[in-house]
Amino acid sequence: MTDKYTEFVSRGAGRDIARKLGLPQPVVLRRYAPGRPLVEGPVLVQGSGTGADELASILLSWRLDVRRHAVPREKLGAIILVLDGLARPEDLEKPVLGAAASLRDLAPNARVVIISRSAAGAPDPAVAAARQGVDGLLRSLAKELRAGATGNGILLTAAAGTTSPGTLGALQFFLSGRSAFVDGQFLTVTSGLGQLPDDAGTPLAGKVAVVTGAARGIGAAIARTLYRDGARLVVVDVPAAGGDLAKVANEVHGTALQLDISREDAGQRIIGHAVERHGRLDIVVHNAGITRDKLLVNMGQDRWNAVIAVNLAAQLRINAALLASVHFRSSPRIVSVASTSGIAGNRGQANYAASKAGVIGMVRATAPLLAAHGGSINAVAPGFIETAMTARMPFATREVARRLNSLQQGGEPGDVAEAIAFLASDAAGGISGEVLRVCGQNLVGA
């Protein structure tokens, strides 16, 4: 659904009217398109350690216009703040306030990325305090940015450094238009695994991907994005959606599998179809889901059980089949669609929120099981996304939900698809067990 308000206030008279009346002033976001530069404008890399120096050299090899020191009044496409050597809270002052001096020079749709270390692995309380301080810093900064600019963070564990493949992959994602609706979020690099693609335009070349719930909406957008990135597709949905599913399959030159994923043998059927038609299986995207909303006091057994069966129990069974299969062994990737409703809750969605919170727990517990095969599993948690479902919301409710995030607008199905495509790629091989919110920095349930 088109956000007419954002279009109106993004230019000319509309922008002036919104400014005078003190109304929200969202801008049209810079989203990914093949051939578009990774960053539009110079990139300022700040940090005094060797990690910052090494990172700056790599960014130069990406043909970015890199600055190690700010040039007054020069419009910046991005600021990267490397804080991987924090030892005490006092260490934050100089680099943070140094970067703050350049915030006014950010161009529209610019990016701020902070690279630091996880507090979970801190050797003492002072180090933990300094590292955890970055969390509050980044999330607050992201709320202060304007004109479509976003702020996100990368956390390093003991197994990862500033130039590890997973770190570089996450940095590319956060700098690019792929992360247009991701704001105020962190990704933790849990290992040194992963590999940047030889061709940035087709990072999934040679991969075979399965997408459930692919007949329409976000699922169809995921299939199109994975296809654009080079994957061969198996699209799955219930027989009742067979007509729409066939159209998506034809569009992405893939194969369609009409299947109720809550069937006991769904996992075996998905694996068998992928191997028979495409010879392998590399990526599974669990997108299929349903809602049966009702206040909990009025919730019946049928509504509760249907949502848990489709949204959670089906994923668990399919994953068990994948983990047991010899056909899912070569750096396999699983990406599940959760929801901010499973993180913050949502009125009238106790069953849905329980199922999506369960997905997050499943992802975290499954990550070690895939590690033996060099695999990963992650979740994407959408917030308010412009879909047919949100288009049916009452006008006032929809408008409030759109504006209650740092970017002051709803996301698009393609924003969710871009995050999933990144997590499904080898560039994200060092990231596993993570939940990435695609919500513009808000917790409105999806």
Q: Nearest-CA neighbor of 99 among 131, 68, 57?
A: 68
| 251 neighbors 216 (Cβ within 8 angstroms) | no
Looking at 238-348, which runs of residues are DSSP E strands?
Answer: 255-258, 283-286, 333-337
The C-alpha angle with vertex 356 and arms to 346 and 349, in degrees rounded to 5, equals 30
Q: Is 307 helix (H, G, I), strand (E, B) or coil?
A: helix
What does the CA dihedral 199, 205, 211, 214 come to, rounded to 10 degrees? 70
Can you name the residues that pair with 116 across neighbouring β-strands?
Answer: 83, 155
DSSP H stretches of helix in 292-340: 301-308, 314-324
d(CA 179, CA 422): 10
User: Measuring CA to CA, how many Å separate 122 from each of 43, 51, 407?
Assistant: 30, 18, 33
As a whole number of angstroms, the distance between CA 152 and CA 179 comes to 10
Report how far apart the first and last C-alpha atoms of the chain are (Å, whole number).
15
The active-site residue out of 5, 32, 227, 352 is 352
**Cα–Cα distance, 346 to 350 (Å, whole number):** 7
Please list the residues that pair with 379 across neighbouring strands. 336, 435
Write the DSSP symbol of residue 313.
I
Judge contact between 427 and 321, C-beta under 8 A.
no
227 is catalytic: no
Query: Can you tell me whether residue 402 is helix, strand or coil?
Result: helix
CA distances from 346 to 186, 296, 315, 396, 436 (A): 23, 11, 22, 17, 18
Q: CA 415 to CA 397: how far, in whole Å? A: 22
Positions marked active-site: 352
